[in-house]
Structure 1
């Protein structure tokens, strides 16, 4: 079943989303050469506790940390540890979530470590992030779920090819409904398949985590023996961006963006809904 939220419930999700934004701010600043991914997890755990929130990743299906730290060819669900030390030139995606009063927020960002990175990594991250915003801009009353998928895919396909030859839109993984649980219906792919219809109609009260994952090569992945870490099959490096978004009567509100998504949505000609906590 698809959960439709009231304005009051969306306001609670906005509170959770602002905690996630604070996690992002703290971990982005700390993602420098010499730091371990466990260090980042501990920073995130402190931010969550300081805000009186709860981590929604920790213990989820047995996941052992408060955030996912996916470095280089790890696409998603990387487990923080003391062994993985960030190096100059790495790329890392940090996926974080929080619960406030039983309502969830979930978002991810990608950042480059240090200054010695391959220029195509910056472009990979930019393309992935912008495709996410294209998808968010398509999250409008009267559209269908596949309109979001199409917006994400078409943005990526329009970009100049990287030096590696292609962008791989990761298959099988995608966005999801979110609210009183972290993962809910509907599932949202980042591309349109012939096997899928137009998807559900988008209505006010629907909340989605919109999250493209893109590699510099194959769209195919495999899961390691830890049953969490997802790597690209060809070892190509990847980027992952995500925001939790609510559709309101006044348009989309990006619950995990500090400004509610106002600045980026304006670039797509879309006005963000008013912030219920402003």
Structure 2
């Protein structure tokens, strides 16, 4: 990530306390955000509304998901929810992605494409990742589902620990923390269980587009990376593999999207959209 100057208020206006704090951090050699990464109150309200709709869409999936259904049916649920709530599914046709939602089963790390032939079986673990926009503002989140209500102890632990990684990353996300603080908290917890933290994919800024700066890495060292300041909106979405952290693109996927764990062991992911405030993070979509 290139180093950029923080663009504080226009000339002629007095800098705020936050501006002065950020300017001091920059003088100390910290990587600080550009001014346009900090959302206005009006933008935050629009993103908050989109986040609520996005959460509702995943709630609709949660009510219906069951063994024997196929993942195209999950896509149908999301499309119908978007139509009913004047929302636009952001994934649909994004760089060639053919569906409105990502459905990633077992060893599929992320970007699984819904299809009729992918039928959910008891014990499968499935990530459903939804991003939508409302009036030009974006919400983004994903959840894990255990099909049939039970799976192997190994998969159950993976799903649970991955959610703990998300929660620990959120706890580390304090005003004026660094991205490395978040990544370190996630990495330490995952590696206690011998899991691999995927490094080829990451969280990101969100709100006015589906993907914005900065990248939110899920591994790292405390005190490194960009400083996160109040008004920034971003996702934390750790992808945790039961084995190696390495991944590859499924050669059988004609669209070139589906990401598989390097040793084809199960993978899990949880994602929330967060707003950084003066006291910590607020969840905007989950």
TM-score range, shorter chain: 0.7 to 0.9
Aligned residue number for residue 34 of structure 1: 68
108, 132, 141: which one aligns with 1:107: 141
- Max Rg structure: 2
Question: For residues 150 and 233 of structure 2, what CA distance do their matches in structure 1 show?
Answer: 38
SS of equivalent to 1:69: strand
Gapped regions of structure 1 (runs ≥ 5): 258-278
Report if the CA contact (8 A) 1:172-1:189 is conserved: no
Taking the aligned partners of 2:155 and 2:41, their CA distance within structure 1 comes to 39
SS in 2 for 1:114: helix
For 1:198-217, what aligned pairs fall within 5 Å after superposition?
Answer: 198-217=224-243
**Which 4+ runs in 1 deviate beyond 4 A?**
none
1:275 — aligned with what? none
Q: Which residue does the alignment assign to 1:147?
A: 181
Q: Deviations over 1:158-202 (max 9, x none)?
A: 4xx3xxxx2111121110111211111111111116xx9711111
Change (3 A) 1:76 1:8: same
Task: Indicate yes or no: 2:213 matched with 1:185.
Answer: yes
SS of the residue 1:105 aligns to: strand
Considering only aligned residues, what root-mean-square deviation do their CA atoms show, in Å? 1.6
2:285 aligns with one of 232, 249, 256: 256
Displacement of 1:31 = 2.1
Segment of structure 1 superposing worse, 67-76 or 226-235: 226-235
2:265 matched to which residue of 1? 236
Equivalent of residue 170 in structure 1, options 187, 191, 198: 198
1:263 is aligned to none
What is the rounded CA distance, in whole Å, between the counterparts of 1:234 and 1:106 in structure 2?
28
Q: Distance in 2 between matches of 1:151 and 1:116?
A: 28
Which among 41, 49, 58 is matched to residue 15 of structure 1? 49
Secondary structure of the residue that 1:136 maps to in structure 2?
Answer: helix
Query: Equivalences for 1:216-231 in 2 at 5 Å?
Result: 216-225=242-251, 226-231=255-260
Q: Is the 8 A contact 2:127 2:144 kept in 1?
A: yes
Q: State the secondary structure of the residue aligned to 2:226.
A: coil
Q: Do the aligned partners of 1:3 and 1:179 also contact (CA within 8 Å) in 2? A: no
What does residue 172 of structure 2 align with? 138
Q: Does 1:87 align with 2:129?
A: no
Q: Would you say the 8 A contact 1:12–1:103 is kept in 2?
A: yes
Q: Structure 1: how far apart are the matches of 2:102 and 2:212?
A: 19
How far apart are 1:250 and its partner, in Å?
A: 4.1
CA distance in 2, matches of 1:142, 1:187: 16
Unaligned runs of 5+ in 2: 1-33
For residue 157 of structure 1, report the CA deviation from its aligned partner. 2.9
Query: TM-score normalized by structure 2?
Result: 0.83
Q: How far off its partner does 1:249 sit?
A: 2.8
1:23-42 Cα offsets, whole Å, 9 max, x none, are 11111222211100000000
* TM value normalised by structure 1: 0.85
Q: Secondary structure at the match of 2:37?
A: coil
Q: Which whole-Å CA distance do the structure 1 matches of 2:44 and 2:169 have between them?
A: 20
How far apart are the structure 2 equivalents of 1:52 and 1:115?
Answer: 32
